[in-house]
Amino acid sequence: MNMVYNSSNFCIVQFSDFGDDARHPAGGFEIMDKGSRREIFLDGRQAERFRDDIARLISHEPSVDEFDDFLASYTGLMTQPVVLH
């Protein structure tokens, strides 16, 4: 587990030990929207696509606002509430 991004609006945690190399080579990503207190977990092809999209985005050295705008495109998919234990 590795926190790869943290802003006042979003947090991304990467799970590199999720699954196995044959089924989930990209591992998994949990994206949390701090404002709505919702999250989504991406694995498999979704995680691969997300990883590739992030790589393209950071190659242009985005601002925090640009990065958050990109992550906001996932908020419609976030159905799981964030619950503190």
User: Is 53's pLDDT higher than 90?
Assistant: yes
* Phi, psi at 2, each rounded to 5°: -145, 120
Counted domains in the chain: 1
Task: Name the strand (E) or helix (H) holding 22.
Answer: none
- CA geometry: angle at 65 spanning 80 and 69, to 5°? 45
Domain range for 43: 2-81
Mean pLDDT of 59-64: 94
Mean pLDDT of 55-79: 95
**Greater model confidence, 24 or 55:** 55
